[in-house]
Structure 1
Amino acid sequence: MAPFPADATLVAPIGIACRHDALVEDERSRGRRLQVGEVMSRDVEFAAAGDTVQQAATLMGEIDVGALPVGSAVRTLGVVTARDLLLRVCAAGRDPTTTTVTDVMTAEIHHCRADDGVETALDLMASRHVRRLLVRDGHDAVVGWVTLSDISRRLLIDSGTVRTALDELSGR
């Protein structure tokens, strides 16, 4: 697996660009390693294998997410993303009321563990070109999601580097 590039930048919603390694180093300087379990979302909704694309899209809108795992926590078949729906249904002219999520889902599932460091999750996301990972427990059951937004938000909020920059910008 290719490491996350040291010069890669994460862009905060407030427009401040920060290097991933500097933010993770700030966590280390406080004597701890930030783990996936500290930033992941534990509320995971699943699309059933027989659900139509329309049902999945409706659920995604209701719970405000960009992807749903397909199957169950113990038997995950794939992941259906908003991009899958856009390209494999809308752009292809398929009927969302008859096309099932298994027809358009991405079958390759990328995951990490709750006790993995966020560096591991970031490296995996970068090498696989994804923005989210399922989080599995020791029995391979899905216990959460971790997204690039979850990690960057936490690192930015906790970062002394960012806090100092914000203080300087506000004149404190």
Structure 2
Amino acid sequence: MKTVAQVLKLKAAQNHAVHSVTPGHMVLDAIKLMAEKNVGALLVMEADRLLGIVSERDYARKMVLKGRSSVGTPVSAIMTAPVRTVSPAQTIEACMAIMTDSHLRHLPVVDEDGTLLGLLSIGDLVKEAIAEQAALIKQLEAYIRGD
């Protein structure tokens, strides 16, 4: 099974940038950025420090359902913190288990120093798991045929 580091390399090759906001950004600006970049979550950063994550789910549950205004509410009021993170050495399988057990759709990847290396979505992990299974099926078919 591939590691997080290997998946991040593939994402880097496809030029998948990590988008972020500061805790002081207004929620409306964060939602506009998500729409513009076609992403479901933004990391909340201050300098190089990961403080939290804000997602469409946070917006729906903490803004819309509570009747709050997106214009005057800072991201810090609705972000999820602390953030569950993974290391580059973890496997796709371990990340999928974390996401399933914790009901997460995004996992920031940080090294042992706490430096942000990237962001994985459940879609990234499912795509890799399917690719690995397809490769395994081809190998097994070749084995059965005696190739």
For this structure pair, what is the TM-score category when the shorter chain's length is used for normalisation? 0.7 to 0.9
Q: Distance in 2 between matches of 1:73 and 1:120?
A: 29
1:112 to 86, 99, 117: 86
Q: Deviations over 1:74-113 (max 9, x none)?
A: 3111111101111211121111110010011111301101
Q: Deviations over 1:108-159 (max 9, x none)?
A: 3011011211122122112212122100012111110112210111221342
SS of alignment partner, residue 152 of structure 1: helix
1:160 to 125, 135, 139: 135
2:45 to 71, 75, 78: 71
SS of alignment partner, residue 43 of structure 2: strand
Which deviates more from structure 2 when the two are superposed, residues 52-61 or residues 107-116?
107-116
Higher helix share: 2
Q: How many residue pairs were aligned?
A: 132
Q: Distance in 2 between matches of 1:116 and 1:162?
A: 24
Matched, 1:56 2:24: no
Q: Cα distance 1:73–1:141, how it changes in 2: closer, same or farther (>3 A)? A: farther
2:77 to 103, 110, 115: 103
Structure 2 length as normaliser, TM-score? 0.80
Matched, 1:36 2:36: no
SS of alignment partner, residue 77 of structure 1: strand
For 1:12-31, list aligned pairs within 5 A: none
Matched, 1:135 2:109: yes
Q: Distance in 2 between matches of 1:143 and 1:73?
A: 14
Matched, 1:84 2:53: no
Q: Distance in 1 between matches of 2:92 and 2:43?
A: 21
Higher relative contact order (CA 8 A, sep 6+): 1
Q: Cα distance 1:36–1:91, how it changes in 2: closer, same or farther (>3 A)? A: same
Runs of 4+ that moved beyond 4 A: 161-164
